[in-house]
Amino acid sequence: METKTIKIDPKNPEISKIKIASKILKNGGLVAFPTETVYGLGANALDKKAVSKIFIAKGRPQDNPLIIHISDKKELYKLSSDVTPTALVLADKFWPGPLTIILKKSKIVPKKITAGLGSVAIRMPSSKIALEIIRNSKTPIAAPSANISGKPSPTKATHVIDDLSNKIDLVIDGGKVAIGIESTVLDLTQKIPQILRPGKITKEQLEQVLGKVKDGLKSKKPKSPGIKYKHYSPNAKIIIMNHKKEIRKISKKYPNKKIKILNYKNEVTMAKNLFNDFRNADKKKYNIILVKAVIEKELGSAIMNRLKKASSEKDL
């Protein structure tokens, strides 16, 4: 399958181009498009066959469920049989935006999407391109990050093309994404809402609205199936430093290795560039990526979560 690419203006998406994407989605095809967090690989969420194609193209384990993207809050009632008051409060406050909520699923949601779970993950993205594509497709869109399973999430169209060329129908190139790390995933099927994946919407922000929120990463049994998989990981070994002074020590320890040092002005730029920098380091065949830890608060929690996952065990 030849993968086409179409450039769309993220500020003023051209409707004729949006329609090309929506037509492919309606016909059961796969389209990668930018959201404000990372690029997603979309398929019609109500079409089992189309959803299966996502798992094949990504090489994604069948037991890892997908997020369904909507363009209108009303669609919540289609996808969930129990839209709780908390869900509505959160939707009002944070949608469209980088928050995914988990609710009890309705019957029309294919089991393939939820990997057999009784719950479903739903999000309304804020990217204009994503919203227009979903709206024009007239169906909710299932979309995981548009990378090969195990690779860092794509933050530019070229990342998607590198991973999925000839495996999907279309890539919508809307330039570099705004945030750069995936949405916050919040489970609302338990008494106290639980963060399953930290993201741009922080625990602090959620607590302001909800009162108490549990940190799922601290609980012994993570409920998000995706959490058990190794993620976001470049080929290079990632070493997290606590202080810049460690650069010399590490360079001495690995005299024959090509070491890339990543430096950022602040956490916002770090989130935005981290996955791109991982991918570039691999292209340039670095053996080690050295990056300084950030404080695990607010956006820093999400960044450290991705860094720790990426740095888990790798031999040199």
Supply the minimum distance, in Å, between the C-beta of residue 174 and Mg ion: 18
Contact between 305 and 277 (Cβ < 8 Å): no
Question: Which has the closest alpha carbon to 133: 191, 92, 172, 81?
Answer: 172
Q: Which residue has the tokens 């384990």?
A: 61
Tell me the residue nearest to Mg ion as measured from the CB.
145
The residue among 136 and 153 lying less far from ligand TXA, judged by its C-beta, is 153
Binding site for ligand TXA (CB under 6 A): 35, 37-38, 40, 64-67, 100, 102, 114, 117, 119-121, 123, 125, 143-145, 182-183, 185, 196-197, 223-227
Q: What is the DSSP string of 47-62?
A: -HHHHHHHHHHHT--T
223 binds, among ligand TXA, Mg ion, none (CB under 5 to 8 A by kind): ligand TXA
φ, ψ of residue 97 in degrees (nearest 5):
170, 180
**Which SS3 state, helix, strand or coil, does residue 261 take?**
strand
**Helices 15-26 and 128-137, interaxial angle, to 10°?**
50
Residue 145 DSSP symbol: B
Q: How far is Cα 28 from Cα 240, in angstroms, rounded to an integer?
A: 42
The residue among 246 and 298 lying less far from ligand TXA, judged by its C-beta, is 298
Supply the minimum distance, in Å, between the C-beta of residue 162 and ligand TXA: 17
The residue among 132 and 182 lying less far from ligand TXA, judged by its C-beta, is 182
The residue among 22 and 119 lying less far from ligand TXA, judged by its C-beta, is 119
Supply the minimum distance, in Å, between the C-beta of residue 41 and ligand TXA: 8
Element (H, E) at 241: strand 237-241
Contact between 121 and 67 (Cβ < 8 Å): yes
Supply the minimum distance, in Å, between the C-beta of residue 226 and ligand TXA: 2
Q: How far is Cα 70 from Cα 91, in angstroms, rounded to an integer?
A: 11
Supply the minimum distance, in Å, between the C-beta of residue 149 and ligand TXA: 9
The residue among 10 and 125 lying less far from ligand TXA, judged by its C-beta, is 125
Supply the minimum distance, in Å, between the C-beta of residue 245 and Mg ion: 34
The residue among 58 and 260 lying less far from ligand TXA, judged by its C-beta, is 58
Binding site for Mg ion (CB under 5 A): 145
Tokens of 300: 């820093």
Tell me the residue nearest to ligand TXA as measured from the CB.
226
